[in-house]
Structure 1
Amino acid sequence: MAFYNKKGTNLKKDLTETTVKHVISAEKLPGFRQENKAQYVNRMFTQIAPTYDRVNRLMTFGLDQGWRKTVVAEARLKAGERALDVATGTGDIALALAHQVGSRGKVVGSDFCLEMMLPGPAKAAKAGVGGIVQFMAADAMRLPFASNSFEAVTTGFAMRNVTDIERAFSEMCRVVKPGGRVVCLEVARPRWAIIRWGHQLYFNRIVPMLGRLISGHGEAYTYLPESARNFPPPEELKRIMERAGLTQVSYRLYGLGAAAIHLGVKPSTPGRRDF
């Protein structure tokens, strides 16, 4: 399966040719049109891709950048190692990982939405890591990599968008090397009632309006609070990661509980639980 070329030429054509066939589930997204969730999510991200970074910065008051830096730090990569960023989007985490592994390392950013990755090569070149990061079209639930390929696997704000969360984590566990880390950044619901009320008001009312003004696609940003409400809370997500085969799973809350970073480790021996 081909990677992007470094110059970023014919990117959409390259990606279309390398797209992994998506696994289609019968699951429907509550509150939206009766269409397949994977198709809906792909269409939605295609629409908002050009303004995704700008809306994200505004929507989180820039906090998402710090959270992504924490994800990279938790991956604990060394120079010369290999990393995978699943559902990489425009490549922010992948680029930060590339700075960790250096010129002797390699980072792959994968996503099933082609348009989301189009800015990636230019961003990588500007950041001076164009020769380290490669972007690839792939489904999180069917990763086209051999087992034990990477020292770390990361993902940011992506698990809400897959149709089978446990399967996606199982794939991440499969492709990471024994002893390697899987780090996940996702939205969460604040535990304290007053903060939760403010959080819900902001994401139900302000975020869709902000998204509509900047991207012209308010429906896409109505999806955010809807998907957050239907996403497993941090403790349940921890159990899902454990069922997927990861051990030493832990998490920390950020942004007054609005986001969570989960960390899991692949056992060094199959079937062994490294506590």
Structure 2
Amino acid sequence: MSENTPIEQETENTTHFGYKTVNKEEKVKKVAEVFHSVAAKYDVMNDLMSFGIHRLWKRFTIDNSGVRAGQKVLDLAGGTGDLTAKFSRIVGQSGHVILADINNSMLNVGREKLHDLGIVGNVDYVQANAEALPFADNTFDIVTIAFGLRNVTDKDAALRSIYRVLKPGGRLLVLEFSKPSTELLSKAYDIYSFNILPKMGDLVASDGESYQYLAESIRMHPDQETLKQMMETAGFEECNYQNLTGGIVALHKGFKF
């Protein structure tokens, strides 16, 4: 981790916003501000900062979802709808996909993008907090959350909420930035994240500060084994993960039986 990583632990009333310790209510507002700010340039920045590799990570997630025609899918923290677009085509008109995001700006960008792609009929858009999902128990065959869990204030509550809305036999897939598997890669990734990424965000999205937060939030996210244990604590079984791009990203999977 960077030398700027804070030593303060989370408490009942405080949590981390990047490397800062803030009240939990304040984090919700600050995260909202970040994504209101970057929504319009979100897809462009994703391609630039990952060199397009995020598309391969998302395709790998789809391939591991086991999604089939007629199923019901929740794309949580789905943002601009990359996963939703692919799920929509696979589940078909007999299936249903919900694109859910806590941030209305991101949801609007996703809705507009998917409409432009001609994806209508089997997709609904819901503004929702992952910690208290507004869906009935045992609703979804599959829940995905891609690059969203690290921004959730109470990750344990979110995992329990996801478990509740999954059908028995359903699966959760968490695609998220994680911990590089070698020290050399970790050092190179730190240089890129803290020296290049904020400048790129400033140049392209006119918001270097939000991308500084992005780099910090990645470092504060639980590592692969810790997230696996958190999923198990929430009730998920047969939990496992696969490192992608040397552990820069990991795909976690768990089942509800």
TM-score in same-fold range (> 0.5): yes
Q: Match for 1:105 among 73, 95, 104?
A: 95
Matches of 1:69 and 1:227, distance apart in 2: 24
Deviation track 1:156-180 (CA, whole Å, cap 9, x = no partner) reads 0011101111111111111010011
Which residue in 2 is equivalent to 1:183? 173
Deviation at 1:53, TM superposition (A): 0.5
Q: Does residue 41 of structure 2 align to residue 51 of structure 1?
A: yes
Q: Is the 8 A contact 1:124 1:133 kept in 2?
A: no
Matches of 2:19 and 2:60, distance apart in 1: 33
The aligned amino acid for 1:112 is I
Deviation track 1:226-251 (CA, whole Å, cap 9, x = no partner) reads 11111110011000000011000000
Alignment CA distance shift 1:25-1:102 (3 Å): farther
Q: TM-score, normalised by structure 2?
A: 0.91
Q: Match for 1:210 among 192, 200, 205?
A: 200
Matches of 2:70 and 2:115, distance apart in 1: 19
Structure 2: gaps spanning 5 or more residues? 1-11
Matches of 1:52 and 1:45, distance apart in 2: 8
Q: Give identity over the alignment, percent.
A: 35
Deviation at 1:33, TM superposition (A): 8.1
Matches of 2:232 and 2:119, distance apart in 1: 33
Matches of 1:30 and 1:90, distance apart in 2: 23
Alignment of 1:153-164 (within 5 A): 153-164=143-154
Deviation at 1:25, TM superposition (A): 5.6
The aligned amino acid for 1:223 is Y
Q: Does residue 19 of structure 2 align to residue 31 of structure 1?
A: yes
Matches of 2:234 and 2:22, distance apart in 1: 29
Q: Is the 8 A contact 2:36 2:103 kept in 1?
A: yes
Deviation at 1:34, TM superposition (A): 4.7
Matches of 1:41 and 1:28, distance apart in 2: 11
Deviation at 1:31, TM superposition (A): 3.4
Q: Is the 8 A contact 1:48 1:217 kept in 2?
A: yes
Deviation track 1:113-158 (CA, whole Å, cap 9, x = no partner) reads 1001112223222333211111110000000000100110001001
Deviation track 1:20-52 (CA, whole Å, cap 9, x = no partner) reads xxxx96424253485611111001100110001
Which residue in 2 is equivalent to 1:232? 222
Alignment CA distance shift 1:200-1:142 (3 Å): same
Q: Is the 8 A contact 1:250 1:264 kept in 2?
A: yes
Root-mean-square deviation (CA, aligned residues, Å) is 1.5
Q: Does residue 74 of structure 2 align to residue 117 of structure 1?
A: no
Q: Is the 8 A contact 1:249 1:262 kept in 2?
A: yes
Matches of 1:136 and 1:125, distance apart in 2: 15
Which residue in 1 is equivalent to 2:233? 243
The aligned amino acid for 1:90 is T
Matches of 1:176 and 1:73, distance apart in 2: 19
Which residue in 1 is equivalent to 2:51? 61
Q: Does residue 86 of structure 2 align to residue 86 of structure 1?
A: no
Q: Is the 8 A contact 2:18 2:214 kept in 1?
A: no
The aligned amino acid for 2:164 is R
Q: Is the 8 A contact 1:147 1:176 kept in 2?
A: yes
Deviation track 1:65-100 (CA, whole Å, cap 9, x = no partner) reads 111111112221111111001111111111111111
Q: TM-score, normalised by structure 1?
A: 0.85
Deviation at 1:261, TM superposition (A): 0.3
The aligned amino acid for 2:93 is S
Structure 1: gaps spanning 5 or more residues? 1-23, 268-275
